[in-house]
Each structure stands twice: as structure tokens, then as C-alpha cells.
Amino acid sequence: MKRLAAVLCLFILPISGLAKTPPKKSPAPPPPDKAYLQKIWDGWSTLDPANVAKFYATGPHTFFDIAPLKYGSWEEYEKGVKGVLAGYKSAKFTVNDDAVIHTHGDLVWATATVKNEMTTKAGKVEMGNFRWTAIFENQDGKWMTVHEHVSAPLQ
């Protein structure tokens, strides 16, 4: 009987170690607010995607922009948007007061319209508003954009 108890202990103790509760995840940082959203657009106002890279998750994520239709990763987005922005000498983007932010655990989605004023290298001023939806994920205590959709209303 003592031998059976010893054998059971040899099997039960290692298995009980597998049933430990997983380590606690650190709490999510405060959710993005309108000021955080504006920081992203202030970065885009520089017309240099390198200035907003810190807000975007790397790897395979989908980003829809006004032109072209879609990018499959931040790396692709950063490279592709440089060509679009190359035709401009200045830009200003303002997140409008209709911004709404929804929090759900480690995910946040935000919607807003964004006022834009962009000046082409030829001097033409383009003004308007476009729609913006962004999904953020808590990655190591930072809210990173994992999906974005920017679109303009048909004229």
C-alpha cells in the first residue's frame, strides 16, 4: 500500500503542477482618448509615415486607405503611402468632435471623422472630411493600431 501511494505521488505531483493558474496579465493601460487619436493624426500631418510607425503594430494586419485600396501589413502601408504623400508639401488633420471610443478588454475601436487640409506640391489646397475607424490592441502595455479604415465620401 505504501508503494502504491508513493507511485501515485510520483504521477500526481507533476500533473498538479500543470494545473497551476496562468500568470496574471498586466492590466491594460488607460484606453486611448481623443488626444491619443489626435497624436496619430499629428504624426500623419508631417507627411512621413516614420512619424506614426510607433502607433501601428507590425506583422500581418489589414489597413484600408483612401488610395490604394488595401495594405496587408504596416510595412506595406508605410512603403505604399510614401508615394501617395509625395505629391503634397503640407497637411493638417484634425480629429472632429464626433470621435467615439469603445473599450473591450485588450481591444479598443474608435470611429471619427477627420478634417483635412492638404496642399499639393503644385500649390492646390484640398480640404474636406473623411471617415476613420481604427482598432487598437494592447501589446505590451501600448495601444497599437492593428486595423485601420480611412475613406472619403463620394463627391
CATH number of the domain enclosing 112: 3.10.450.50
Measured distance CA(28)–CA(86) in Å, rounded: 37
Peptide bond into 22 cis (omega under 30): no
State pLDDT tens for residues 14-62. Answer: 444 444 444 445 577 899 999 999 999 999 999 999 999 999 999 999 9
Question: Residue 8: its pLDDT value, please?
Answer: 39
Q: Please indicate, yes or no, if residue 98 is contained in any of the structural domains.
A: yes
Position 67 confidence tier, pLDDT thresholds 50, 70, 90: confident
Q: Please indicate, yes or no, if residue 18 is contained in any of the structural domains.
A: no
Q: Please indicate, yes or no, if residue 74 is contained in any of the structural domains.
A: yes
Mean pLDDT of the chain: 86
Strand residues in 56-121 grouped as ranges (E):
60-64, 70-73, 88-95, 100-104, 107-120
pTM (predicted TM-score): 0.80
Q: Strands 142-151 and 100-104, how do they pair? A: unpaired
Domain count along the chain: 1
Q: What is the DSSP letter of 137?
A: E
* Nearest residue to 116 (alpha-carbon basis) of 101, 124, 106, 126: 126
Q: Please indicate, yes or no, if residue 8 is contained in any of the structural domains.
A: no
Q: Please indicate, yes or no, if residue 40 is contained in any of the structural domains.
A: yes
* Nearest residue to 136 (alpha-carbon basis) of 32, 29, 14, 4: 32
Distances (CA, A) of 2 to 5, 6, 8, 9, 18: 5, 6, 10, 11, 25
Q: Please indicate, yes or no, if residue 3 is contained in any of the structural domains.
A: no
Q: Please indicate, yes or no, if residue 15 is contained in any of the structural domains.
A: no
Find the domain containing 110 and state its range.
Answer: 29-151
